[in-house]
């Protein structure tokens, strides 16, 4: 039986706190005779006094019935269909109540991956929908007609105690979908909740199955660990639960060798969390911060500095090549598949941002050649994070001189709409090599199809064939990196 709570003193939800468009969807569904509730993270955030990022709705109406009620709606999904209702650029998700599939009775429960669920396309009741969710605090429903919170799993109790508890047996639930382990880490860090001891033990026991999940989902979850200025706490919990040793083994090894809980690795994430949020949203602006490459650079910065120092002791070093190789080993190869690749542009920009730690100190460098690079302003923010993480060892005066020169250049030459990549996103991916500008395989880097010349008979025929066999070279990108100068800052 569900627990109903009507406007409790410490867990009150007002319809005025709910998005008006979500309220209108709920009312129209109810008027059409369907059960419809506000559901999930929005209810959880409202009872905790937080502002929800979005508002999701669960209903007894089928996707087709929802689509027929709203002209501004469209159906998406292959594994499980749901409806997105559009209001300008905003979209509200409306899903039909569903239930978890029955586990395979013939499966060997001790076998790795035996319980992994890759299909949940089954409609169900509100209670079944609540029981199939991951954590109790995410299984709360809110009925706007009665102003009641409907709790089938004890989520209100756990929210008041600030405990993140898995619904059902956590060992089974985490093996059904290993990404739930990552969600537990991220959500507990964001909400400052404690993971329930039984759930925490299950994560440690089954962390080795995390890589069974789809690689694009895992890569996306790594990015989400940086959100809400909680990256340090999220990655600390990722390390403590042993998930980091499976997902980012190079980073885990570095932390264990440099002090574990007291490793200076955590200082970089703390500095990133303390960085003020940028208000610039126009990607063409010279002051747009590319968050994904910046986060990748911060995550790998301690390892990168360590590797550069080690290579420097052996002689001259190509710092950009080290950055590219590190990104390739830690993030690209482990998470790319035959049908999906880690975003190429994001990796290229992150490599240049890491490399910028070395060329920024070169007094003889011609700075203007970097001012049109879409990653440079992000790199300057990275320098500030590096300075904070290393207790101000980086030269603040040097960073200010770069910023001043960049501001002057932007005002004179770039303008408001001429710096970033137009029509490109740091989250897009392409079926290309990671750093095509640095390969020497002779392939055409233009991305288009080659035109085959019609053979001409007669004199010069052989010379023409030889010329036609040559491949075009890529034009973009930096061809070489700056050498480490004597005044390169030591960490």
pLDDT (tens digit, 9 = 90+) per residue, 445-462?
444 444 444 545 554 444
Q: Would you give the distance in Å from CA 394 to the centre of its chain?
A: 28
pLDDT at residue 4, as a whole number: 53
pTM score: 0.79
Cα-flanking dihedrals φ and ψ of residue 64, to 5°? -65, -40
Burial class (CB in 10 A: 0-12, 13-18, 19+), 376: buried
Average pLDDT over residues 398-411: 91
Chain segment 477-486, per-residue pLDDT in tens: 333 333 333 3
**pLDDT confidence band for 101 (50 / 70 / 90):** low
State the first-to-last Cα distance of the chain, in angstroms, to the nearest integer.
Answer: 59
- Convert the pLDDT of each residue in 215-258 to its tens digit: 999 999 999 999 999 999 999 999 999 999 999 999 999 999 99
Query: Active-site positions?
Result: 54, 56, 134
SS (H, E, C) the chain: CCEEEECCCCCCCCHHHCCHHHHHHHHHHHHCCCCEEEECHHHHHHHCCCCCCCCEEEECCCHHHHHHHCCCEEEECCCCCEEEEEECCEEEEEEECECCCCCCCCCCCCCCCCCCCCCCCCECCHHHHHHCCCEHHHCEEEECCCCEEEECCCHHHHHHHCEECECCCHHHHHHHCCHHHHHHHHHHHHHCCEECHHHHHHHHHHHHHHHHCCHHHHHHHHHHCCHHHCHHHHHHHHHHCCHHHHHCHHHHHHHHHCCHHHCCHHHHHHHHHHCCCCCCCCCCCCCCCCHHHHHHHHHHHHHHHHHHHHHHCCCCCCHHHHHHHHHHHHHHHHHCCCCCCCCHHHHHHHHHHHHHHHHCCCCCCCHHHCCCCCCHHHHHHHHHHHHHHCCCCCCHHHHHHHHHHHHHHHHHHHCCCCCCCCCCCCCCCCCCCCCHHHCCCCCCCCCCCCCCCCCCCCCCHHHHHHHHCCCCCCCCCCCCCCCCCCCCCCC
Comparing CA positions, the residue from 380, 368, 359 lying closest to residue 413 is 368
Q: Could you read off the pLDDT of 109-148 as tens digits, one per residue?
A: 455 454 544 445 578 899 999 999 999 999 999 999 999 9
For position 368, what pLDDT does the model report? 86
By C-alpha distance, which of 276, 183, 273 is closest to 232? 273
Residue 412's pLDDT band, with cuts at 50, 70 and 90, is confident
Residue 32 predicted with pLDDT over 80? yes
- pLDDT bin (cut points 50, 70, 90) of residue 359 is confident
The residue among 351 and 80 whose pLDDT is bigger is: 351
What does the pLDDT read at residue 427? 41
CATH 3.30.420.480 fits 162-247, yes or no: no
Q: Please tell me the distance from the alpha carbon of residue 416 to that of residue 100, in angstroms, as a whole number.
A: 51
| Tokens found for residue 404 | 């001043």
Superfamily holding 1-161: Beta Polymerase, domain 2 (3.30.460.10)
Each residue of 35-86: pLDDT tens digit? 999 999 999 999 999 999 999 999 999 999 999 999 999 999 877 789 999 9
Task: Write out the residue limits of the CATH 3.30.460.10 domain(s) in the chain.
Answer: 1-161
Q: Where in the chain is the domain with CATH 1.10.110.30?
A: 162-247
Q: What is the pLDDT of residues 261-308, one digit of tens each?
A: 999 999 999 999 999 988 888 888 899 999 999 999 999 999 999 999
pLDDT at position 341 is 94
């Amino acid at each position: 039986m569900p627990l109903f709570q009507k406007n409790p003193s410490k867990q009150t939800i007002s319809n005025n706190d709910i998005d008006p468009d979500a309220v209108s969807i709920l009312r129209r569904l109810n008027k059409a005779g369907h059960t419809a509730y506000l559901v999930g993270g929005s209810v959880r955030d409202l009872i905790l006094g937080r502002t929800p990022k979005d508002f999701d709705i669960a209903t007894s109406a089928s996707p087709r019935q929802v689509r027929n009620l709203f002209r501004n709606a469209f159906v998406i999904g292959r594994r499980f269909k749901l409806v997105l209702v559009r209001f300008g650029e905003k979209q509200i998700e409306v899903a039909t109540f569903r239930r978890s599939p029955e586990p395979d009775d013939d499966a060997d429960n001790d076998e790795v991956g035996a319980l992994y669920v890759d299909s949940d396309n089954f409609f169900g009741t509100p209670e079944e929908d609540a029981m199939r969710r991951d954590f109790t605090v995410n299984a709360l429903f809110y009925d706007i007609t009665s102003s009641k919170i409907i709790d089938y799993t004890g989520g209100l109790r756990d929210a008041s105690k600030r405990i993140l508890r898995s619904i059902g047996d956590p060992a089974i639930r985490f093996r059904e979908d290993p990404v739930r382990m990552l969600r537990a880490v991220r959500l507990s860090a964001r909400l400052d909740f404690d993971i329930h001891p039984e759930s925490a033990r299950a994560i440690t026991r089954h962390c080795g199955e995390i890589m069974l999940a789809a690689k694009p989902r895992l890569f996306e979850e790594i990015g989400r660990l940086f959100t809400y200025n909680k990256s340090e706490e999220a990655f600390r919990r990722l390390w403590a639960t042993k998930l980091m040793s499976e997902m980012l083994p190079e980073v885990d090894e570095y932390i264990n060798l440099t002090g574990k809980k007291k490793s200076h690795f955590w200082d970089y994430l703390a500095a990133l969390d303390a960085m003020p949020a940028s208000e610039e949203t126009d990607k063409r602006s010279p002051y747009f911060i590319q968050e994904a490459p910046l986060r990748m650079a911060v995550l790998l910065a301690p390892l990168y500095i360590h590797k550069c120092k080690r290579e420097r002791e052996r002689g001259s070093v190509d710092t950009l090549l080290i950055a590219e190789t590190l990104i390739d080993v830690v993030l690209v190869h482990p998470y790319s598949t035959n049908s999906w690749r880690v975003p190429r542009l994001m990796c290229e920009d992150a490599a240049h941002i890491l490399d910028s730690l070395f060329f920024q100190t070169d007094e003889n460098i011609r700075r203007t050649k970097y001012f049109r690079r879409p990653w440079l302003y992000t790199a300057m923010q990275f320098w500030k994070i590096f300075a904070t993480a290393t207790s101000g060892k980086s030269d603040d005066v040097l960073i200010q001189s770069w910023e001043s020169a960049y501001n002057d250049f932007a005002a004179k030459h770039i303008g408001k709409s001429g710096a970033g990549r137009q029509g490109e996103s740091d989250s897009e991916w392409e079926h290309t090599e990671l750093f095509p500008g640095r390969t020497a395989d002779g392939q055409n880097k233009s991305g288009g199809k080659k035109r085959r010349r019609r053979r001409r008979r007669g004199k010069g025929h052989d010379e023409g064939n030889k010329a036609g066999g040559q491949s075009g070279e890529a034009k973009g990108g930096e061809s070489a990196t700056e050498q480490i100068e004597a005044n390169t800052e030591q960490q």
